[in-house]
Amino acid sequence: MARYIFITGGVVSSLGKGLASAALGALLQARGYTVRLRKLDPYLNVDPGTMSPFEHGEVFVTDDGAETDLDLGHYERFTGVSARTTDSISSGRIYSNVLEKERRGDYLGKTIQVIPHVTNEIKDFLRIGDAEVDFMLCEIGGTVGDIEGLPFFEAIRQFIHERPRGQSILMHLTLLPYLAASGELKTKPTQHSVKELQSIGLAPDVLVCRSEHPIPEKEREKIALFCNVRKEAVIPAYDLRTIYEAPLAYHRAGLDQAVLDAFGITPAPKPNLARWEDVMDRITHPEGEVRVAIVGKYTQLEDAYKSIAEALTHGGMANRTKVRAEWIDAEIFEREDPAPWLENFHAILVPGGFGERGTEGKIKAAQFAREKKIPYLGICLGMQMAVIEAARNLVGLANAGSEEFDHEAGAKRFTPVVYHLKEWVQGNHVVARKVTDDKGGTMRLGAYTAHLKDGSRVASVYGEAVIEERHRHRYEVDIQYRDQLEKCGLIFSGMSPDGRLPEIVEVKNHPWFIGVQFHPELKSKPFAPHPLFADFVRAAVEVSRLV
């Protein structure tokens, strides 16, 4: 039976619950335990798949095809444990499940209520995989006091009481604001947040207190006294140079020890933190620096490309190089020449996205990289834009474009070298889709196999002939243009097992130009950088040495 750690937040949102959860998971692993991390989100969307990146940041996709919160990306990057569909749930999904059961008659005519039906559904979710790991870490989104979060807190209260004593603890993150006028850290918001928790029947065992200033010993004692926790369980959490410092910083602050003490695990196994010490050494002692331009359409919110930014950092670590990523709005290139913007960069990356806005700018970025021999990595839509650019400027299809943009405009304007994917093979069956299908959860999602061409650059990068990567798309490069494109130097170097879906393209006689239909950034980790990102940064380093 797993021990459960519930992670909640108070005072304000965006305190770093996801990062604290991931760091704690990494510390428990360092002590020899197995862990699994989960996210419970109170919003009514069934999943984040249909949310705007401006609203919610990136969508993190799991191997089994779940569209989840970006915090699951933190969990994977810090623990190396692949997330599953069963590691993310929202109020929308919970209510959807309950209503489906009601429609089927599963409740035998009973009146459906939040207690017990909704709370039972949440508890059933929490129990999944109970026997698989030593520790189950469950992060609850939002802050204590949010009305939409109450069913989750009530379910957790029941869950804790139904399990044997000492099998579950609560870790609560709060903020200690600093008043410059009086030169004081204020503990009252934390006290009120804990009081709010206590009013719904929950009491924290560990308090993690975010602060921009050192927390004096007397303030820790005051928090411990008024919040009814041990002083050693009041953990200071300060701003860090990099998120990858979090495991070492939380260990120094005593978080993992406080958690194990709360479970009564003594003596606790000693941690082996060599992995994280090496990660920090690579980040803090780079031997060079490269500049990478990310030409995208959601550049106002860096969380929209969170995994890409982190994967670039990992690629830099693999080469002991600092990667300075700079975000450029693709729409600028629809009005201006990209050369003055891009000529001082050592590499160009065009990420995924949806819709026509900014795509002509992405096409110009791909053209600049191809013609100027600058390393280029196109991801999902970034690959499709590279294919459209080659079709226009090398093959001579002046109107080459994507069906996606015609569907959006409601008019046929392009020769579709990228088309709407109507069917594909998933496992042992064929999946069929129509343009009119719902937007949520109807894309080609999750891990799919690709076969790499012998002698291709990607085959040498991966060091193997068959790979498996995560996808999230509903449009695909049309294979009927393959011969024309390959004659002009754009090679289809990765294909689906049935040979129908292009997965990777690359340009011949170019230092490094690769487009991939999948999202390699989702599988990159600081201690295991993705080979594509590691080699992309290596190519950028070579360019930087030539300049």
Q: Pick out the residues of the known binding site for CTP.
A: 13, 146-148, 186-191, 222
The sign one gets for the Cα dihedral 376, 380, 386, 387 is positive
- Sequence ranges of the binding site for UTP: 13, 186-191, 222
How many beta carbons lie within 10 A of that of residue 65, not counting itself? 19
Under 8 Å CB-to-CB from 4, ≥6 apart: which residues?
126, 135, 136, 137, 138, 159, 160, 163, 167, 168, 169
CA–CA gap between residue 323 and residue 302 (Å, rounded): 15
Residue 474 sits at φ, ψ, to 5 deg, of: -125, 0
Give the N- to C-terminal CA distance of the chain in Å, as an integer: 58
The answer to whether the CB of 17 falls within 8 A of the CB of 139 is yes
Residue 170: Cβ-neighbour burial (10 angstroms; 0-12, 13-18, 19+): buried
Catalytic annotation present for 488: no
| Catalytic residue (one of 117, 471, 521, 530) | 521
| Catalytic residue (one of 380, 389, 469, 473) | 380
- Sequence ranges of the binding site: 13-19, 71, 139, 146-148, 186-191, 222, 240, 353, 381-384, 404, 474
| CA-atom Rg of the chain in angstroms | 25
Catalytic annotation present for 519: yes
Residue type, position 150, single letter? L
**Going by DSSP bridges, is the β-strand pair 3-9/322-329 parallel, antiparallel, or unpaired?**
unpaired
Strand locations in 57-111 (E): 60-61, 67-68, 88-90
| Catalytic residue (one of 251, 346, 519, 530) | 519
- Sequence ranges of the binding site for L-glutamine: 353, 381-384, 404, 474
Catalytic annotation present for 371: no
- Sequence ranges of the binding site for ATP: 14-19, 71, 240
Residues forming the active site: 380, 519, 521
